[in-house]
Structure 1
Amino acid sequence: MSQETDKQRISDISRQYFVHMKYNAVNSITDGIFFTLGTGMASGTVLTYFVSTFTSSNAVIGLLTTLHSLLVNVPQFFVAPYVEKKETYKPALKMLGFFQRVVWLLLGISTFLLAQKFPVFYLVLLYFFYGLFGLFTSACSVLWISLITKVIPHDHQARFFGVRYSLCGAAEILGSFAASMIFKFVPYPTNYGIIFVIVFILLMVSYYFMSNVYELPTQVKKIRQTGYFSRIKEILIEDRNFLMYFISTVAIILGKAGFSFQVIYAKVKLGISSEQAAFIATGIFISQTAGYIFWSYINTKFNYKKSIEMSSLLFIPAIVAMLLMDNIFMLYVSVALFGFAQSARNSGENNLVIAICPREQDKPAYVGLRNTLLGPFFAFVPLLAGVAADIFNYEIMFMGSIIFVVIGYILMKFFVKLEK
Structure 2
Amino acid sequence: MLNSEIQKNLRHNFTVNVIESGFFGFGSGFASFFTILPLFVSTLTDSALLIGLIPAIPRLGWQLPQLLTASKVARLQCYKPTVMLLTIHQKLPFLGLALVALLQLKFNHQTILLLTFAILIWQGLGGGFSATAWQSMVAKIVPSKKLGIFYGTLSASGNLMSVCGAAIAGLLLKEIAQPFNFALCFLCASFAMALSWFFMSKTREPVSITPSAFESRREFWDSLIVILRSDENFRCFVIARMISQLALMPLPFYTLYAVHQYGMGEASIGFITTLLMLTQTIAGLVLGWLGDRTGCKLILQIGCVACAFSSVLACLASNTNWFYLVFIAEGIGMIALQNIAAVMTLEFGNQHQRPAYIGLGNTLIAPASILAPLLGGWIVENIDYKTTFLVAAIGALVTALLLQVGVSNPRYLEQNFSNDSVNVLPE
The TM-score with structure 1 as length reference comes to 0.76
Aligned to 2:340: 348
Aligned to 2:396: 405
Are residue 259 (structure 1) and residue 251 (structure 2) matched?
A: yes
Structure 2 unmatched runs, 5+ = 414-427
Residue-by-residue CA offset, 1:251-298 (whole Å, 9 max, x unaligned): 22123222244455566664765x876655533321012212332454
| C-alpha distance in 1 between matches for 2:315 and 2:46 | 20
Aligned to 1:73: 63
In structure 2, the CA distance between the partners of 1:97 and 1:304, relative to structure 1 (3 Å rule), is closer
SS of equivalent to 2:221:
helix
Residue-by-residue CA offset, 1:330-356 (whole Å, 9 max, x unaligned): 44433222112211223432454577x
SS of equivalent to 1:45:
coil
Residue-by-residue CA offset, 1:147-206 (whole Å, 9 max, x unaligned): 4556x4759965765654443343234334444555665677765444322211211122
Are residue 210 (structure 1) and residue 205 (structure 2) matched?
A: no
SS of equivalent to 2:199:
helix
Select 1:317's aligned residue among 285, 290, 309. 309
Residue-by-residue CA offset, 1:44-96 (whole Å, 9 max, x unaligned): 43257535676676654443344322221121122122234456544444443
Select 2:117's aligned residue among 117, 127, 152. 127
| C-alpha distance in 1 between matches for 2:29 and 2:408 | 37
CA contact (8 A) 1:245 1:416 kept: yes
Are residue 137 (structure 1) and residue 127 (structure 2) matched?
A: yes
Task: Give the percent of matched residue pairs that are identical in Structure 1 and Structure 2.
Answer: 22
Are residue 38 (structure 1) and residue 27 (structure 2) matched?
A: yes
**Given residue 40 of structure 1, which amino acid in structure 2 is its aligned partner?**
G
CA contact (8 A) 1:65 1:379 kept: no
Select 1:201's aligned residue among 182, 191, 195. 191
Shift of 1:235: 4.8
Residue-by-residue CA offset, 1:15-37 (whole Å, 9 max, x unaligned): 87777666555433322221122
- Deviates further, 288-297 or 209-218: 209-218
SS of equivalent to 1:257:
coil
- Deviates further, 25-34 or 46-55: 46-55
The TM-score with structure 2 as length reference comes to 0.75
SS of equivalent to 1:81:
helix
Aligned to 1:249: 241
SS of equivalent to 2:213:
coil
Shift of 1:321: 4.8
**Given residue 314 of structure 1, which amino acid in structure 2 is its aligned partner?**
A
Shift of 1:124: 3.5
| C-alpha distance in 2 between matches for 1:241 and 1:147 | 23
In structure 2, the CA distance between the partners of 1:45 and 1:157, relative to structure 1 (3 Å rule), is same
Structure 1 unmatched runs, 5+ = 1-10
CA contact (8 A) 2:304 2:400 kept: yes
In structure 2, the CA distance between the partners of 1:29 and 1:366, relative to structure 1 (3 Å rule), is closer
Question: Alignment length, in residue pairs?
Answer: 406
Aligned to 2:101: 111
| C-alpha distance in 2 between matches for 1:52 and 1:316 | 33
Aligned to 2:421: none
CA contact (8 A) 1:45 1:263 kept: no
CA contact (8 A) 1:314 1:338 kept: yes
Shift of 1:133: 0.8
| C-alpha distance in 2 between matches for 1:308 and 1:93 | 28
SS of equivalent to 1:223:
coil
Are residue 335 (structure 1) and residue 327 (structure 2) matched?
A: yes
Residue-by-residue CA offset, 1:71-123 (whole Å, 9 max, x unaligned): 21121122122234456544444443334222112223323443998445444
CA contact (8 A) 2:214 2:220 kept: no
In structure 2, the CA distance between the partners of 1:390 and 1:116, relative to structure 1 (3 Å rule), is farther
| C-alpha distance in 1 between matches for 2:194 and 2:42 | 29
In structure 2, the CA distance between the partners of 1:115 and 1:284, relative to structure 1 (3 Å rule), is farther
| C-alpha distance in 2 between matches for 1:376 and 1:195 | 32
**Given residue 118 of structure 2, which amino acid in structure 1 is its aligned partner?**
F
In structure 2, the CA distance between the partners of 1:80 and 1:378, relative to structure 1 (3 Å rule), is same
Are residue 29 (structure 1) and residue 18 (structure 2) matched?
A: yes
**Given residue 405 of structure 1, which amino acid in structure 2 is its aligned partner?**
A
SS of equivalent to 1:135:
helix
Aligned to 2:423: none
CA contact (8 A) 2:63 2:363 kept: yes
Aligned to 1:3: none
| C-alpha distance in 1 between matches for 2:313 and 2:281 | 21
**Given residue 127 of structure 1, which amino acid in structure 2 is its aligned partner?**
F
| C-alpha distance in 2 between matches for 1:98 and 1:361 | 25
**Given residue 361 of structure 2, which amino acid in structure 1 is its aligned partner?**
R
| C-alpha distance in 1 between matches for 2:297 and 2:142 | 28
CA RMSD of aligned residues (A): 4.3
| C-alpha distance in 2 between matches for 1:171 and 1:304 | 26
SS of equivalent to 2:250:
helix
| C-alpha distance in 1 between matches for 2:329 and 2:178 | 30
| C-alpha distance in 1 between matches for 2:247 and 2:28 | 26
